A and B are shown apart, each in its own frame.
Chain A
Amino acid sequence: MSGFLQQCFNGLVSGGFYALLALGLAVIFGMLGVVNFAHGAFFMLGAFGAYVALAEFGVPFWAALVAVPALLFLFGAVLERTLIRRLVPFDPLYNFLLTFGLTLVLQDLVKREYGVQSQPYPRPAELSGSLDLGLFDYPAYQVFVLAAAVLLCLAVWLILTRTRVGMVVRAATERPELTRALGVNVGRWVTPVFAFGVALAGLAGVLAAPMRAVNPLMGADLIIAVFAVVVIGGLGSVFGSVLAGFAIGLVQSLGNLYVPALSQTLIFIIMAGVLLWRPAGLFGREEART
């Protein structure tokens, strides 16, 4: 029983990473219509940012948790202004290719500097122990990651549903042209929304650094699963992406326990099943974007 619960916990923790990445992808796709293939690379940059900050400058985890996403926000803003924006008016495939190329460039730049082997990153001292969760002990850091992921998703949800900015983002996601015709300067919100998604991926990367292997390919391994999560949740649906993120983490983790042979393919089997049943994903809307 405690083994089962522990595995559930493991699943929710990795689901937290799925949810944070899927959330950023969904918001960016909704607002810009861009499938951001570089999202995994931004996640990797977040983890490497934390590693470099500590190894080269002695910046502790907690400071990196704020500084690295802030830097990635700026990076994302520059990227949107200089490259992404120019391709938005054309076929979405162009930005897909651009971000795919960007992924390769970023990965190789990091590889050149630090090689392909994983870099160590210690857990912050405050969270190095375990917590007694009643039925079993669980690493305090993992509990922190889960709580942080849940709170971040909740915060983004509150921003989206309770603020004027969130209302504008929802409106521009649903009907960009009409929203402009109603007097809302949609273009002004595009850069901050993209940069926010990038920063969120970077934050997830910093959170991953102490518990996952920090290497140039860590994002590439994850992003394929995150794409499956986004498709299952419904492309562009923020709520669906987050829910699917946690759910897939959980299912995958239990799959590892009970059907280890399927552990790598389970997520894609689920994706295929969902697409057969609901082609727009669990929370996606049927109509196509115009």
Chain B
Amino acid sequence: MRTSLRIFFLGGLTSYRALFHWLTPWILIPTFVVGPIFQLLFFAYVGRAAGVGDDTFYLIGNAVELASIPCLFAMGNTIGNERYTQTLGLLLASPARRLPLFLGRALPVVVNGFAVSFLVLVLGALVLHVSIPVAAWAPLVAVLAVCAFSCTGLGLASAALALRVRETAVLSNIIMGVLIVFCGVNVAVSALPAWMQSVAQVLPLTHGIEAARELVAGASWAAVMPLVRDEALIGVVYGAIGMAMLFFFERESRRHATLELA
């Protein structure tokens, strides 16, 4: 038990610091601060030009969605980069239990995703002069944390593919695009075609964004609780799928000796 906890906390943190590769200020600030703020400003101004939505709508949608940058890319890197550092074989040959080994890598990613979302929410509110009710901040923080968790679940599933394919960054970009279009980030889910609304219901962030918007509009925590619960549940399901994929691809790569060939 103690070993598993060490692998989960220390192993996860060490892997994140060693393999994410984005923790230098030269990457961190442009990617996690400046880029996200400009994404928010872009859509807020497009909304103004198109005459739809208001700044609050775009602030909430983009702040929640931008957690996906670390949640998708960091998860991909912390597993995919094992191959580049030629430690994937060593890692998978070790007797360490897989559950704490891989889930431990997800924990710093959840924290990172939450931090990006929170930062964009605060800076975006200042830049766009959006006023968020004081009472809404505490539940909003909880929603951001749940969204970062659920998106990391999706990131884990996407990262599992790093055991099979090389281009995890391309995959992460495409998944991020899907989230932007489907999850009600800049267009209300109700304005999407029916089939897209159905897809949105099984993606992370959709319920979280809706909950966050309702909170800012004055809803109570109890009122948005079902949405937050669904968001967390979706995260658990994607996380479980990701773990199952990791087990499957690991076993397949051992059987076919394809660990270094992807």
* Interaction A to B: no
Residues of A within 8 A of B (CB): none
Residues of B within 8 A of A (CB): none
